[in-house]
């Protein structure tokens, strides 16, 4: 009896083994059905990514190397300046020079003699006011209302008495030395003790001064907008020149500071024009016989500008 029991355990299949084998067979059938095309048990991943493809791994969905990227749009070309470079053939007595600076690129165009200098007269007042405002802000101070009124008179009305007082307050020729270094002028000269009116700038450095004001370097970030607004409101005898060549709607947005003086020693009139537009700055300077008067230079400053605008494409 004992030997027979041993034969049962070795020669007969256990019910548990049968169950295990059946489970394996069922599993194989289900796997086959998932892989069979058209089967209701077909793998959803395979259906999603297409037969014969494998679903992406990891972060392939966010990997730009496996997806097409849109081509970057080319940067639009900047609008050309409203001026053209070229030699002007104008019937103007005496000497004149002009220069235009592109504020976007720093490129400068101008007459062949744009590096020659002339005395600035009242045009330099734009720097004197800017120098005072920047240094006052740097010292943590704010000009009084009375002082701001003085500065308005200097810019809008070209008040000489107030200019002389302010020039002395900021160190006289030391202020012009700061102009040359701060605005990186290359042609200009300090008038030493001969006064602000005798400061020598070139048309090219005049355009650079305009850019120095426009970009906030001259007056500093706190006062630049105020100064430009004042320069847009120049009035009376000082309202002439460059912006007069533009349509009225555009002219009112152009900031200016002009200068005019009779040099009896040289028997010359010196007339100068500085203008600041949205994308450009411009300087025009003239010297001519003193007997022709102020208006001759004022009109020719506008005439030079108009010729450059007319020639522009």
Q: Which two tokens stand for residue 62?
A: 């966010």
Distance, CA of 220 to CA of 212 (rounded, Å): 10
Q: Residue 170: which of 125, 204, 201 has the closest Cα?
A: 125
Give the pLDDT score at 214. Answer: 98
Q: Where are the extended beta strands (E) located within the chain?
A: 95-102, 108-110, 118-119, 200-201, 255-263, 268-276, 280-289
Mean model confidence pLDDT for the chain: 84
Q: Residue 136: which of 210, 228, 222 has the closest Cα?
A: 222
Cβ neighbours of 16 (radius 10 Å): 8
Distance, CA of 225 to CA of 137 (rounded, Å): 14
What is the Rg, in whole angstroms, of the alpha carbon atoms belonging to the chain? 40
Q: Which range is least confidently modeled, 32-41, 152-161, 243-252?
A: 32-41
Give the pLDDT score at 85. Answer: 78
Dihedral sign from CA coordinates of 289, 292, 297, 303 = negative
For 156, residues 6+ apart whose C-beta sits below 8 A from its C-beta are: 230, 233, 234, 235, 236, 238
For 242, residues 6+ apart whose C-beta sits below 8 A from its C-beta are: 254, 256, 273, 274, 275, 282, 284, 301, 302, 305
Phi, psi of 141 (to 5 degrees): -115, 160
Q: Provide mean pLDDT across the span 251-276.
A: 97
CA atoms within 13 A on the CB side of 259: 29
Q: Provide mean pLDDT across the span 210-215.
A: 98
Reported as a pLDDT band with limits 50, 70 and 90, residue 294 is very high
pLDDT 10s digits, 33-92: 454 555 554 444 444 333 344 444 333 333 343 445 555 666 667 788 889 877 888 999
Q: Provide mean pLDDT across the span 215-224.
A: 98
Residue 108: strand, helix, or coil: strand
Q: Which two tokens stand for residue 100?
A: 């235009």
Tokens 């010297």, located at residue: 287
Cα-based angle 28, 33, 37 (whole degrees, multiple of 5) = 145
* Contact by Cβ (8 Å): 190, 167: no
What pTM was computed for the model? 0.76
Which residue did the predictor score with more confidence, 73 or 277?
A: 277
Dihedral sign from CA coordinates of 122, 126, 131, 137 = positive
């Amino acid at each position: 009896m004992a030997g027979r029991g041993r034969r049962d355990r070795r020669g007969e299949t256990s019910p548990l083994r049968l169950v295990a084998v059946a489970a394996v067979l069922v599993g194989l059938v289900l796997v086959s059905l998932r892989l069979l095309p058209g089967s209701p048990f077909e793998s959803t991943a395979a259906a999603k990514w297409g037969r014969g493809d494998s679903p992406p791994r990891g972060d392939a969905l966010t990997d730009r190397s496996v997806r097409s990227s849109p081509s970057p749009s080319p940067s639009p070309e900047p609008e050309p300046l409203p001026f053209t470079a070229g030699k002007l053939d104008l019937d103007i007595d005496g000497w004149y020079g002009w220069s235009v600076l592109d504020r976007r690129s720093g490129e400068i165009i101008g007459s062949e003699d744009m590096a020659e200098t002339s005395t600035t007269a009242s045009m330099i007042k734009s720097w004197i006011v800017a120098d005072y405002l920047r240094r006052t802000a740097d010292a943590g101070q704010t000009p009084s209302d009375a002082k701001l009124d003085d500065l308005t008179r200097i810019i809008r009305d070209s008040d000489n008495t107030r200019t002389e007082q302010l020039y002395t307050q900021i160190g006289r020729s030391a202020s012009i030395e700061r102009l040359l270094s701060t605005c990186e002028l290359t042609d200009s000269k300090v008038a030493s003790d001969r006064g602000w009116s005798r400061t020598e700038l070139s048309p090219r450095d005049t355009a650079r001064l305009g850019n120095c004001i426009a970009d906030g370097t001259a007056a500093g970030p706190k006062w630049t907008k105020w100064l430009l607004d004042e320069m847009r409101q120049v009035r009376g005898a000082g309202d002439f020149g460059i912006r007069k060549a533009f349509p009225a709607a555009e002219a009112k947005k152009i900031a200016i500071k002009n200068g005019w003086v009779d040099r009896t020693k040289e028997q010359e009139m010196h007339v100068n024009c500085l203008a600041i537009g949205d994308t450009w700055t411009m300087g025009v300077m003239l010297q001519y016989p003193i007997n022709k008067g102020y208006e001759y230079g004022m009109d020719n400053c506008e005439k030079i500008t108009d010729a450059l605008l007319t020639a522009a494409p």
